[in-house]
Chains A and B, each alone.
Chain A
Amino acid sequence: DIQMTQSPSFLSASVGERVTLSCKASQNINKYLDWYQQKLGEAPKLLIYNTNNLHTGIPSRFSGSGSGTDYTLTISSLQPEDVATYFCLQRNSWPLTFGSGTKLEIK
């Protein structure tokens, strides 16, 4: 199974700050990497698929990049409504595996 390691586990940042979250795979996942946002008490929501494709309706302050084993989610200007836990998911091979999440809070 492919292991997904997210870092940091917890991040506190200021409104307007640029924020970067990381996800590292235990082997090459060929850019089959998604990012999900989960707010407290809600279902996860797809933000980005296949490394850098923004899902419908997602604000352009979210972007993704990466290749091979290393992937990044960037929020260009953090907003209060971005408080959530962010999970990555690899879809390169079965079984699909999620990272353990990064909890993002406002400083």
Chain B
Amino acid sequence: EAQVTQNPRYLITVTGKKLTVTCSQNMNHEYMSWYRQDPGLGLRQIYYSMNVEVTDKGDVPEGYKVSRKEKRNFPLILESPSPNQTSLYFCASSLRAGRSEGEAFFGQGTRLTVV
């Protein structure tokens, strides 16, 4: 089954404790991205990756890191989480970026709480 898998689904952590949210897709997609969803703000893109070893900042990259060492995986790293990073996070992938390939597949989401 074609899917994007994120883990964990729920995470409560303390300020400053490094964490990683994993994302994996089994569709051989080139393009992957991370979003955060906050009430009243909709979806905001954090980082994206056009392909292996190619990553770029989205709209709200501060406080986050990503890596793309393999095509299927795109982990989101919070080196020193802060309470303002409490949010619902989504990983997404698509065949490639651009007009005709814009359809994205989303993971189930990770609800992160930083206390």
The yes or no verdict on A and B being binding partners is: no
- B contacts, CB < 8 Å to A: none
Q: Give the interface of A toward B (CB within 8 A).
A: none
